[in-house]
Amino acid sequence: MPSIKALQPLPPGSTIGILGGGQLGRMLSLAAARLGFRTHIYSDDPDSPAFEVTSRFTHGGYADLPHLETFAQQVDVVTYEFENVPVEAARHIGKLVPVRPGAKALEVAQDRLVEKEFVAGLGIPVAPFAAISHRRDLIAALERFNAPSILKTRRLGYDGKGQLSLAPASDAAAAVAALGHRAAILEQRLDFVSETSVIVARAVDGTFATYDCPANTHAGSILRRSIVPSGLPTPAVAEAQRLAHAIADALDYVGVLAVEMFYMGPAAKPALVVNEIAPRVHNSGHWTIDACGCSQFENHIRAVAGWPLGSPARHSDAEMLNLIGDEAHTWADLAAEPGMCIHLYGKREAREGRKMGHATRLKPRTGV
């Protein structure tokens, strides 16, 4: 059982430790400052953009347990901005200070096969999948699916990295070699109508705050835009939120969780299929900073600090646009557009495929 002290809300002036110094850590730190908290960022990148907006930062490796111990002794609670923090590190820190979300969420989300089995085990629809350890596994799965599929490494990889699109007659040996003979998972491609996500915050006491579901558009496996209202039928939105709540409850989750889904259409059974979960604040929820009174970042901080959650209500319609690579150089044009809110992440180099910022176009609220 957690100690009484661990369950008490943290007062303003407390320090929230954040593992990871990218743009999500940066926006978490800014949200914490609004509530009167200090933050301490721990990152293995000496040029982390979050270092610019935090009370204190530490440069160190995520497997360096003595360094992590020192960090943990200087904070009141620890959270993380990305799901590839070593599970062992989270468990080790958890002996010294509360870690929210807990290590179970990391353990599930870090392995795509474990994640699929976990979600499917809750009775929640997922795409047909198969574990791939050898070439013969891939040959058998391609024959069984007899449909276009995606081969993904089980661990690491994001924004399309570590993935291959395959046809039923693809060269299995070449595909396995292209992924470096790493353990993988084959997922059947689905003919979906649209992509959506649920951004849900779960508090220490199990209460929820759930944001409107956006319509998400990807290009090159990178999120390009998120739009609210999404245009999804009301029953589909309610079902998407129910599925996300079930996953968060099963993980005994504290903080913001993102659940990416495919909407298969009003006549499809099931109408929704879960694609991935992300145990952190999420790119498809960035619009909440400007379109809601309490953003996903503030609600994550509230949750990990043991506070009551804020209202997720949306006061405006919104279109969030990712600024990738050189697109960040269009800031002057974006700044001149009425209703446009610009967020640049302070990254020094605009590389192809790198998320440099985002911009959110606000309009008066017209839909649900």
- For the domain that residue 206 is a member of, what is the CATH number? 3.30.470.20
Mean pLDDT on 308-323: 98
Q: Report the C-alpha gap between 136 and 51 in whole angstroms.
A: 47
Written as six digits, the tokens of 250 are: 């099963």
Please state, in angstroms and as integers, the Cα–Cα distance from residue 114 to each residue in 105, 107, 237, following that order.
11, 8, 26
Q: Give the pLDDT score at 172.
A: 86
| Whether residue 216 is found in the same domain as residue 142 | no
β-bridge partners, 40: 17, 56
Task: Write down the mean pLDDT value for the chain.
Answer: 94
The last residue of one of the domains, among 188, 205, 225, is: 188
Using one digit for the tens of pLDDT, what is the confidence trace for 36-47? 999 999 999 999
Q: Higher pLDDT residue, 142 or 159?
A: 142
| Whether residue 54 is found in the same domain as residue 139 | no
Q: Which helix (H) or strand (E) holds 136?
A: helix 135-145
Q: Report the C-alpha gap between 149 and 165 in whole angstroms.
A: 6
Q: Higher pLDDT residue, 352 or 295?
A: 295
- Of the ranges 86-100, 257-271, 293-307, 354-368, which one carries the lowest mean pLDDT score? 354-368
| Whether residue 184 is found in the same domain as residue 260 | no
Q: Give the pLDDT score at 180.
A: 86
Is 117 domain-assigned? Answer: no
- The band of 332, judged by pLDDT with boundaries at 50, 70 and 90, is very high
Range of the domain at 331: 194-364
Q: Which pTM was predicted? A: 0.94
Using one digit for the tens of pLDDT, what is the confidence trace for 66-76? 999 999 999 99
| Whether residue 358 is found in the same domain as residue 272 | yes
Q: Give the pLDDT score at 347.
A: 94
- The band of 268, judged by pLDDT with boundaries at 50, 70 and 90, is very high
Mean pLDDT on 284-304: 98
- Number of domains the chain contains: 3
| Whether residue 19 is found in the same domain as residue 81 | yes
CATH number (domain holding residue 166)? 3.30.1490.20
Instruction: Tell which residue, 78, 152, 59, has the closest CA to residue 110.
Output: 152
The last residue of one of the domains, among 172, 188, 204, is: 188
> Which sign does the torsion angle of CA 357, 358, 359, 364 carry?
negative
Mean pLDDT on 324-330: 95
Is 109 domain-assigned? Answer: no
Q: What angle do CA 277, 281, 287 make, to 5 degrees?
A: 110
Is 112 domain-assigned? Answer: no
| Cβ neighbours of residue 333 closer than 8 Å, sequence gap 6 or more | none
Using one digit for the tens of pLDDT, what is the confidence trace for 178-220? 888 889 999 999 999 999 999 999 999 999 999 999 999 999 8
Q: Higher pLDDT residue, 3 or 52?
A: 52
| Whether residue 180 is found in the same domain as residue 211 | no
Mean pLDDT on 19-32: 98
Is 113 domain-assigned? Answer: no
Is residue 170 within 8 Å of residue 200, measured between CB atoms?
A: no
* Residue 168 confidence (pLDDT) above 90: no
CATH number (domain holding residue 36)? 3.40.50.20
Q: Give the pLDDT score at 1.
A: 41
Q: Give the pLDDT score at 255.
A: 98
* Residue 158 confidence (pLDDT) above 80: no
Written as six digits, the tokens of 169 are: 């007659």
Q: Strand 208-210 and strand 163-166: pairing? A: unpaired
| Whether residue 216 is found in the same domain as residue 333 | yes
Q: Higher pLDDT residue, 23 or 353?
A: 23
| Whether residue 182 is found in the same domain as residue 204 | no
| Whether residue 246 is found in the same domain as residue 327 | yes
| Whether residue 183 is found in the same domain as residue 198 | no
* Residue 4 confidence (pLDDT) above 50: no
Is 309 domain-assigned? Answer: yes
Q: Give the pLDDT score at 317.
A: 97
Q: Higher pLDDT residue, 310 or 156?
A: 310
Using one digit for the tens of pLDDT, what is the confidence trace for 90-130? 999 999 999 999 999 999 999 999 999 999 999 999 999 99
| Whether residue 208 is found in the same domain as residue 344 | yes
Q: Give the pLDDT score at 7.
A: 65
Is 22 domain-assigned? Answer: yes
The last residue of one of the domains, among 99, 117, 144, is: 99
Mean pLDDT on 81-87: 92
Instruction: Tell which residue, 182, 94, 68, has the closest CA to residue 133.
Output: 182
Is 266 domain-assigned? Answer: yes
Using one digit for the tens of pLDDT, what is the confidence trace for 217-239? 999 889 999 999 999 999 999 99
Is 115 domain-assigned? Answer: no
How much of the chain exceeds pLDDT 70, in percent? 96
Sheet holding 184-188, edge to edge: 129-132, 184-188, 149-153, 163-166
| Whether residue 182 is found in the same domain as residue 218 | no
